[in-house]
Amino acid sequence: MVCACRLWLWLPQIPAWGPSDRVTGSGSDRQQGVGQNPGRFPSPSDSAAVPSSVPNPIASPDTPNPGAAADRVDVLIVGGGPAGAAAAVYAARKGIRVGVAAERFGGQVNDTMAIENYISVLETDGPKFGADMEAQVRHYGADIMNLQRAAKIIPAEEEGGLIQVQMENGGVLKAHTVILSTGARWRNVNVPGEQEYKNKGVAYCPHCDGPLFKGKRTAVIGGGNSGIEAAIDLAGIVAHVTVIEFADQLKADAVLVNKLKSLPNVTVHTNAQTTQITGDGSVVNGIGFKDRVSGQEQHIALEGVFVQIGLIPNTEFLKDTVALSKFGEIVVDAKGHTNVPGVFAAGDCTTVPFKQIVIAAGDGAKAALSAFDHLIRTPVAA
Please state the closest distance from residue 353 (CB atom) to ligand FAD, in A: 11
Please state the closest distance from residue 100 (CB atom) to ligand FAD, in A: 9
Close Cβ partners of 177 (under 8 Å, ≥ 6 residues apart): 74, 75, 76, 163, 342, 343, 344, 371, 374, 375
101 or 302: CB nearest ligand FAD: 101
How many CA atoms lie less than 13 Å away from 78 in the CB half-sphere? 28
116 or 297: CB nearest ligand FAD: 116
Please state the closest distance from residue 168 (CB atom) to ligand FAD, in A: 8
Please state the closest distance from residue 179 (CB atom) to ligand FAD, in A: 10
46 or 233: CB nearest ligand FAD: 233
In angstroms, the CA 173 to CA 274 distance is 44
Please state the closest distance from residue 121 (CB atom) to ligand FAD, in A: 10
Consecutive H or E run containing 290 = strand 284-291
Please state the closest distance from residue 170 (CB atom) to ligand FAD, in A: 14
34 or 205: CB nearest ligand FAD: 205
49 or 173: CB nearest ligand FAD: 173
Please state the closest distance from residue 146 (CB atom) to ligand FAD, in A: 8
149 or 251: CB nearest ligand FAD: 149
In angstroms, the CA 50 to CA 327 distance is 42
Please state the closest distance from residue 10 (CB atom) to ligand FAD, in A: 17
Beta strands in 147-187 (DSSP E): 150-154, 163-167, 172-180, 184-186
Please state the closest distance from residue 67 (CB atom) to ligand FAD, in A: 22
In angstroms, the CA 5 to CA 48 distance is 14
Sheet-wide strand order for 240-244: 202-203, 304-307, 217-221, 240-244, 266-269
Give the residue nearest to ligand FAD (CB).
183
Please state the closest distance from residue 296 (CB atom) to ligand FAD, in A: 32
Determine phi and psi for 362, rounding to 5 degrees.
-60, -40
Determine contact, residues 349/181, Cβ cutoff 8 Å.
yes
Which residues contact ligand FAD (rule: CB under 6 A)? 78-84, 101-105, 107-109, 111-112, 115, 117, 149-150, 181-184, 186, 204-205, 208, 314, 317, 347-348, 355-358, 360
Residue 308 carries which side chain, given as an amino acid letter? Q
Ordered alpha helix ranges (H), the chain: 27-33, 82-92, 126-139, 206-209, 225-235, 254-261, 357-377
96 or 203: CB nearest ligand FAD: 203
> Strand 284-291 relative to strand 184-186: parallel, antiparallel, unpaired?
unpaired
In angstroms, the CA 333 to CA 325 distance is 12
Determine contact, residues 356/370, Cβ cutoff 8 Å.
no
In angstroms, the CA 366 to CA 359 distance is 11
113 or 301: CB nearest ligand FAD: 113
Q: DSSP state, 64?
A: S
Torsion 291-296-301-304 (CA) sign: positive
145 or 272: CB nearest ligand FAD: 145
Q: From the CB of residue 247, how many other CB atoms can be counted at a distance below 10 Å?
A: 12
103 or 373: CB nearest ligand FAD: 103
